[in-house]
Structures are given as structure tokens and as C-alpha cells.
Amino acid sequence: MCLTIALLALGWAAAPLLAQFASTTEVVEVYATVTDQKGRPVTGLTADAFNVFEDGTAQPVRVFAAGEFPLAVAVALDRSFSMGTRGVDTARAGARRLVDQLQPTDRLMILAIGDGVETVSAFDSPRESARQALDGIAPWGSSPIGDTVALAVEAFGGQRGRKAVVLWSDGAEREAQRATAEVVEQVRRADVLVYSVAVARTVSPLLSELAAVSGGRVLQARDRKGAEVAAGVIAAELRHQYLLGYAPPAGQAGWRRIEVRMKPPGLSVRARQGYIAAAPSGKASSEPPPASNQ
């Protein structure tokens, strides 16, 4: 536990240096979003407000931090014909508002969903270039939503710290190369939050499931004002999260379920559902996780 003790002495800034969600580390990191009964981010909590469980067994929180952490964001905008000009304009307005609320040090990538997935602004491009890329997106093609999310998750690679995909779409999946179950499983195993803004009258099951398995959230926006409000909600949540770290218990390799519960009444928490513990040799197990999302 010497590494854990050192982290507590150094503060939260040392924690992102650890590899995340692998049993070869001494700390499993969990980013948690806490909201009140009106859906507003809750700040000012201490470690005592949280209970963390791995496979049903309580785990002592060894590392705790609150506030803003390094962030990398992939903003994906659906420009398919099913969105139409109004839908694309709505999504563009919301995405632009989100970009404007990111910190200068946050890393940003812009993806356009159409006939395939196009990276219109790569990570570390100037922020103004990202804005111009958004402004240039116009209706075109189909909507391989799953392929887009999979590509975004893969683009993060081995980046440390928090990672999030923010998807603006009507949720109508068309001409995707990857099966929905495959993409959901990829997201479930990844250390990436998926937020979806449904530019539609209803929220598709795909958008809901991607958010649920990642610890993200789904919002709706039927017009420009709604899109900008949704962007503000997402930006606020990304600014106010809690880092919970615990020492992974010894055990077999494979999927380990994580559950975070709140002690104070009236609060809700969202966090990742689990991680893959590596085999003794250091290689990750190929054993699939349980089918349940509970």
C-alpha cells in the first residue's frame, strides 16, 4: 500500500499518472458524478459521502479528490440526412456552446457523422479551428452512430485522466459497420464517459444504453435553446466530478463489477460499471463480463 500512502500525501494530482482500470496498478480510479433531486451537480462532498463496492464487497476509498481534472473530449455531430438542416443547426449550436465552455487546457476532437466518420478537427488543433470545423458541417449521408463512438473511444488510446464522448444525434442508426452489441461492450470496458444529446422527440435505446454503461447521461434538445441548455448541463457535470480510488483486491482475472452508492439521502451518483483485471502474467483476460448491466 506504499503507493497509496504516497498518493494521499501528494494529493489528487498524482493519481492520473496511474494506469486506470487494470489490476497491474495499485489503485483503481473511478470518476463519479453526483446530482441532486433536480439533476444539478453536487459539490463540496467528502470521501465519507461515498460507498464503493467491487463485486459486492465494500472497498475503502484510499484516494479522493474533487474538482476539475484533466479532460479530453470527442464531440461527434450527426450530419445525416435524417437530421435535416434544422437538426444539424440545432446540434451545431449545442456543440459550439459546449466547446466554448471547455477549459483552454482541455483536449478536443471534432467528428462529423455522415457517410462514414470524418475527423474534422484533431486533438490539439487550435480551438478556433475546432469552431470553424463545426461551422462547416452541413447535412450529408447516413448515420453510423456506433462506428463513431467506437472510433472516438479508440482515438483516446492510452491517454490518462478523464475522457468523454459527447454525441449530438437523432439516434437513428444507419449503415454502421459494427454491431450495436459490440460497440456497447467496447464502451462498457473502456474508461470513457458517453454523453448523448438526442436531437429528436424521443431518445433511442442505443443512446440510452451507451450512456448507461459508461456512467454518462442522455439529454434531449429539440431546438437551439434546448441544445445550448444541454451543453451547459454537460459542461457543468464535467467540471464537477469526484475521483475515488481504491486498492483492487486479489482475485481472478476478468471482469470486476464496480458500484458506487451515496450515503447522504436524496443524491444520485453515476459512475463506471467495472473494469478488466489483468491475468497474473499482466495480460488482460478475454473472459466476457456478465450480460447484466446492473
Q: What is the residue-averaged pLDDT of the chain?
A: 85
At the top level of CATH, the class of 71-239 is: alpha beta
Consecutive H or E run containing 90? helix 84-101
The dihedral region occupied by 84, where left means phi > 0, alpha psi between -120 and 50, and beta the remainder, is left
Cα–Cα dist 150/182, whole Å: 9
| pLDDT top residue among 85 and 22 | 85
Q: Give me the residues paired with residue 78 across strands.
A: 113
- List CB contacts of 201: < 8 A, sequence separation 6 or more: 222
pLDDT digits (tens, 9 = 90+) for 224-279: 999 999 999 999 999 889 999 999 998 888 899 999 999 999 999 999 999 888 77
Residue 40 to residue 18: CA distance in whole angstroms: 30
The pLDDT assigned to 260 comes to 97
Residue 280's pLDDT is 58
Cα 157-3-258 angle, rounded to 5 deg: 55
Taking a C-beta distance cutoff of 8 angstroms, is the pair 275, 22 a contact?
yes
Q: Which of 83-92, 120-129, 157-166, 257-266 has the lowest mean pLDDT?
A: 157-166
Q: What band does 98 get if pLDDT is binned at 50, 70 and 90?
A: very high
Q: Is the pLDDT of residue 149 over 70?
A: yes
Residue that has been written with the C-alpha cell 463545426 in this structure? 134
b/e map 149-187, b = 16+ CB within 10 Å: bbbbbebbeebbbbbbbbbbbbbbbeebeeeeeebbebb
